[in-house]
Amino acid sequence: MPGIDTFQDAITRFRNRSVHTYVGHALTFRGQILQDGEFGVQSGWDTATNQFIMEHLLRLDLLRRKITHNPQNVDIQTLVDRAKDLSVTLPDDVNAQSPAGDEVARPTGREFDLPYKLDGTDPNIPALEAIDLRNVDARMFVTALDQHIVEATRLDSRFATYRITPRESLMLYGSLCEMWDMCASFGGDAKRVPIVHGVRPSEEPQGVAASPNRERSVAITKE
């Protein structure tokens, strides 16, 4: 199903496994921050939430670098010899490069759908328009994150099987930097705007008509 709202332009069926994984991590991050109570206030978020957000942005950036095409200076004969050498094993260091490198052409994989519904039917991935997000700074951040997810699904490398190109990786890096700048500008206790949050008419337990401003406006109208 096609996406709606901020996910409207997302492509939900492609073969690149790395992009599928990247989008999954980004959506998990989205679900976690939307549950944060700090996003219920009218501006900014506290230092603890800011550190949490920045930590996840760094993790997304690490994943971005890991899925970026990074060819090694190894000739094809060396790779052939490695493939036949029984003593060569898969690296146990998570930071080590693949013994085959990115020089080996891989067969075309099959396209498959994202296991995440971006059409608003998944309660864990609600459309932004359906969220009562009163925090204007938080809404800006979530919008940027949603656009980042859409951007990831629209990479030309979605036709590839495993990696993304360095140029596309830089595109993702640019939008990650944008969200990082938002944390620097609006996140943290010192950056919050000192305003009274109050109760909006829609949140009034006695109904909209019981809102003080609402009553005053009705009285002025009658006069």
Q: Is residue 219 part of a domain?
A: no
Task: Specify the number of domains making up the chain.
Answer: 1
Token digits for 112?
């498959």
The verdict on residue 148 lying in a domain is yes
How far CA 19 is from CA of 16, 37, 78, 85, 168, in Å, comes to: 6, 30, 29, 32, 11
Residue 46 lies in a domain: yes
Q: Residue 113: phi, psi to the nearest 5?
A: -80, 150
The answer to whether 43 and 189 have CB atoms below 8 angstroms apart is: no
Specify the pTM. Answer: 0.79
Residue 58 belongs to domain spanning: 5-74+108-192
Is 100 domain-assigned?
no
User: Is 20 among the domain residues?
Assistant: yes
In a domain, 208, yes or no: no
User: Kindly report the CA angle at 210 between 205 and 213, in degrees rounded to 5?
Assistant: 120
Tokens 């991935």 belong to which residue? 125
Is residue 96 included in any domain, yes or no? no
Output the six-digit token pair for 193.
Answer: 């705007």
| Within a domain: 213 | no
pLDDT tens for the chain, 223 residues long, are 678 889 999 999 999 999 999 999 999 999 999 988 888 777 889 999 999 999 999 999 999 998 988 766 665 666 566 556 656 565 555 555 555 555 556 666 788 999 999 999 999 999 998 888 888 899 999 999 999 999 999 999 999 888 899 999 999 999 999 999 999 999 999 888 776 667 777 777 887 777 776 655 444 555 5
Contacts of 185 (CB under 8 A, 6+ apart): 191
Measured distance CA(40)–CA(50) in Å, rounded = 14
Torsion of CA 29, 30, 32, 38, to 10 degrees: 120
